[in-house]
Amino acid sequence: METQRLSKVLAAYGIASRRACEKLIFSRRIKVNGATVTTPQTLVNASKDAILIDNKPLPALSPASVYLLFHKPKGFVCSHNKVSHQRIIYELLGSEPTRLFSIGRLDKETTGLLLVTSDGLFSHQVMHPSSNILKEYIVKTDKEILDTHLKIIQEGCDVEGVWVKPHKVVKIRKGTLKVVVSDGRKHEVRLLVANADLKVRELKRVAIGQLRLGSLKEGHYRPLTAHEKTLIFL
């Protein structure tokens, strides 16, 4: 393994995003060969140097891990348990040899960007509230969106006993708006829109962090690149 910057090595091992790894280093939580390091640009060789985080060694790399960007179609559920005639997303991922799971879920009627992986640590990092990752949705409603609707949505509503407010709400067209949230609670976007007396006709997630769905067709998937994985945390 080649010599690389410490912050890059930590991110490659799935500790956190590059930016979050720099904060760990600045917080004096990282040791290299017994010495505390406070400079993210410090050059290290992960195969030769003893790197500790909070006095614990780095986790083992999982070269066989799978990371997929998947365009979930309508009518499929994010579950391994098939009930009756219900269709599950893994029917569309049957060619992958490793047991996969989605990072979070989109409900049956929601389409769009879904991350699928075999890496539990990566999934935890994406899902953990401390990552504060924004998710962007496009919502098509049953009637024209007025300023009063936008104001009500922006004020937030109760979701699972917690008052949540969207990060951003923007009208795109007559009956279409963009909603950006960070909480990721069940049916959060649908409840925010319904609270403004709007009916959701279509709901699609188009971005997670700065990773965008792009032109990938419904029901299709492709591997995430190393760069795209970092975009999730930006």
Q: Which domains does the chain show, CATH number per domain?
A: 4-57 (3.10.290.10), 67-129+212-231 (3.30.70.580), 134-208 (3.30.70.1560)
pTM for the structure as a whole: 0.73
Q: Determine whether 107 is an active site residue.
A: yes
Tens digit of each residue's pLDDT (9 = 90 or more) over 151-185: 999 999 999 899 999 999 999 999 999 999 998 78
Mean pLDDT of 4-16: 80
| Residue bearing the bigger pLDDT, 36 or 60 | 36
What is the model's pLDDT at position 61? Answer: 62
- Residue 209: pLDDT band with limits 50, 70, 90: very high
The answer to which of 85-94, 108-117, 187-196 has the lowest mean pLDDT is: 85-94
Place of tokens 């410490």: 6
Q: Which of 107, 142, 158, 197 is catalytic?
A: 107
Distance of CA 120 to the CA centre of its chain: 13
Across the chain, mean pLDDT equals 90
- For 3, other C-beta atoms within 10 Å of its C-beta total 11
Phi–psi pair at 146, nearest 5 degrees = -105, 165
Q: 203 pLDDT exceeds 90?
A: yes
Residue 190's CB: how many other CB atoms inside 10 A?
A: 19
**Position with higher pLDDT, 20 vs 70:** 70
Specify the residue for token string 């912050």: 7
Distance CA(125)–CA(123), nearest Å, equals: 5
- 186 — alpha (psi -120 to 50), left (phi > 0) or beta? beta
Q: Is the pLDDT of residue 42 over 60?
A: yes
